[in-house]
Structure 1
Amino acid sequence: MTLTATGISAAALHKANLRNTDLHGADLRNTNLSGANLRNTDLSGAILSGTYLRDTYLGDALLYGAYLLGADLSGADLRDTDLTKQQVNSAVTDSSTRLW
């Protein structure tokens, strides 16, 4: 599925299966993606500020250039992603967030 450069901000996609979806450049501000499966999803350049990614699986997701200011990554699985330390530091994490 491709939603490139689509503005779906503030949508409720709780527990959605978006595996292998092309979301690069998408405006996902304040979207609820809690518990979603985003494995192998292209989120490069996406705007994820204020997005709820709590307990979301992001294994092998492409996050290069994604804007994560204030995104809630609590409990998210971010192993095998291309996140930078700066991106992680701009987001909300907790002890259950799985990094690298």
Structure 2
Amino acid sequence: MEPAPLFPGPVPDWVVQMEAYLQERELPWKEQRREEEEEEEEEEEEEEEEHFLLWSQRHHHHSSTKEVPPSNFKDYSPVALTRMDHIKSVLPPTLDPDQFDQCLSEK
């Protein structure tokens, strides 16, 4: 869709040539910028995942059972995960943490 010309009548050749030149220059620049932004976002996501893994390792080392973060762990905030770990740590040892998870999911 061509934008409406600012002035009626034929467009001078130099305007057409200049627009074509600018578009040629602009498109690769926009494409490159978008790729850079996507790479930055991917790096940030990887850093967040690494940070979470380090955080969860630090907070799980006290528990004797091997903790597997739930598949939807991104749904939980770090505070919620800490509270869940705390609840599991004060439960009687006879109660299996997996049973506890099942009780939660049934409700």
TM-score (norm 1): 0.19
Between 1 and 2, higher relative CO (CA 8 Å, sep ≥ 6) is seen in 1
Q: Which has the larger share of helix?
A: 2
Q: Which structure has the larger Rg over C-alpha atoms?
A: 2
